[in-house]
Amino acid sequence: MTKKIALLARTRIPAILVAGAVALASCASPTAGRNGLYAQPTGGAPVTANPTPYSAALACMGDYSRLTNVNPPRIAVGRIIDYTGKQELEGGRKITQGASLMAISAFAKAGVRLVERYDTSVSELELKYANNKLISDGGESYRKIKAGSIPGSDFYLVGGITELNYNIASSGFDAFGGDVDVDDPKGFIKASTYVMNIGLDLRLVDTRSLEVVDVISYQKQIVGYEVGAGIFAFFNNQNIIDISAGGKALEPMQLAVRSSIERAVLEMTANIYGVAGPGVCSYADPLATTGITGNFISAHNNQEAYNGQTRQEPSRWHSSRDNTVRGFLRGRYD
């Protein structure tokens, strides 16, 4: 009986493997289907907000400035460069090159008036076209260039990411056990953790006098872990079983950069607004318009048009999650 089971195992397992390989190969086709696609893309998760632990406080600062009629200054964001010089083996940078964009988003969450100085290529091109009388604003006349039409900044933010330190601390264990008999099962278990960090230095500069009015240096530690376990055994000197499982995770490095920038921007904004601490967030503003995704200028003078608080809802506008959109796609929009 045992020999028959072993024979069936030897004949059926290869057949199952072949059938599985054929099934996997059939998922992609060289011929486009009726929908025009070779294969349906995997996934479909909705777009979500990308907050840090400081995003809610930034939104609170924006609502506080409106509630107390604080006149926020105009701020421009310059270059916030990666000074660490660390690169991947493939040649890419370890640290994000978009720190300036993160700072712009952070200031927007805090309700600060922003003026663009980071990428003015489109504005400069339009100014060139307008100077040559090539641009109109919908009428027959060309756009006029008016002196003083571009507002200036009161302060600008610059700085850089200055630290990326690997393996500040690490710990772990690795164990293997089993009987000396070849036929007896053997197993292993392992686990490890490690800590690294990033650091940045930012400064806020008065645009008119070039006086540095605020300097902040922050670092954030990042933790990672890895765990695993497995078993290996022979059966009847003919079949082998080798099973292992595990997982590993690293706290997002670029999210750590964003968190550090948002904390720095939050402290600078609090200084500008004259806020001593988070106690100003204890109130509840029923007309709050700022969300954790940023701030905006409404195109209409209508409170119902404000969508700052709803932009962070993951199901909003999603064709598979929002009933309103699904109803419209079916031609039954109410």
What are the tens digits of pLDDT across the range 171-211? 999 998 887 776 778 898 999 999 999 999 999 999 999 99
| Cα–Cα distance, 174 to 188 (Å, whole number) | 7
Q: What residues does CATH 3.40.50.10610 cover in the chain?
A: 2-26+50-145+152-297
Hey, is 12 helix, strand or coil?
A: helix
Number of H helices, E strands in the chain: 6, 6
| Sheet-wide strand order for 74-82 | 113-114, 74-82, 155-178, 186-206, 212-235, 239-250
pLDDT value of residue 169 = 93
pLDDT value of residue 101 = 96
pLDDT of 259 above 60:
yes
| Cα–Cα distance, 288 to 280 (Å, whole number) | 14
Contacts 24+ apart (CB under 8 A), 95-104: 95/161, 95/164, 95/198, 95/253, 95/254, 95/257, 96/254, 96/257, 99/160, 99/161, 99/200, 99/257, 99/261, 102/257, 102/258, 102/261, 102/262, 103/77, 103/157, 103/202, 103/261, 103/265, 104/77
Q: Give this prediction's pTM.
A: 0.81
**Which CATH code of 3.40.50.10610, 3.40.50.10680, 3.30.830.10, 1.10.3080.10 fits the domain covering 2-26+50-145+152-297?**
3.40.50.10610
Compute the Cα dihedral for 126, 131, 134, 137 and give only its sign: positive
Tokens standing for residue 158:
């610059």
Q: pLDDT category, 17, cuts 50, 70, 90?
A: low
Q: pLDDT category, 138, cuts 50, 70, 90?
A: confident
Closest CA to 131 of 140, 139, 123: 123
90 HSE (CA, 13 A, CB side) = 2
What does the pLDDT look like over 81-93, one tens digit per residue?
Answer: 999 989 888 778 8
Segment 309-321 shows an average pLDDT of 83
pLDDT value of residue 283 = 65
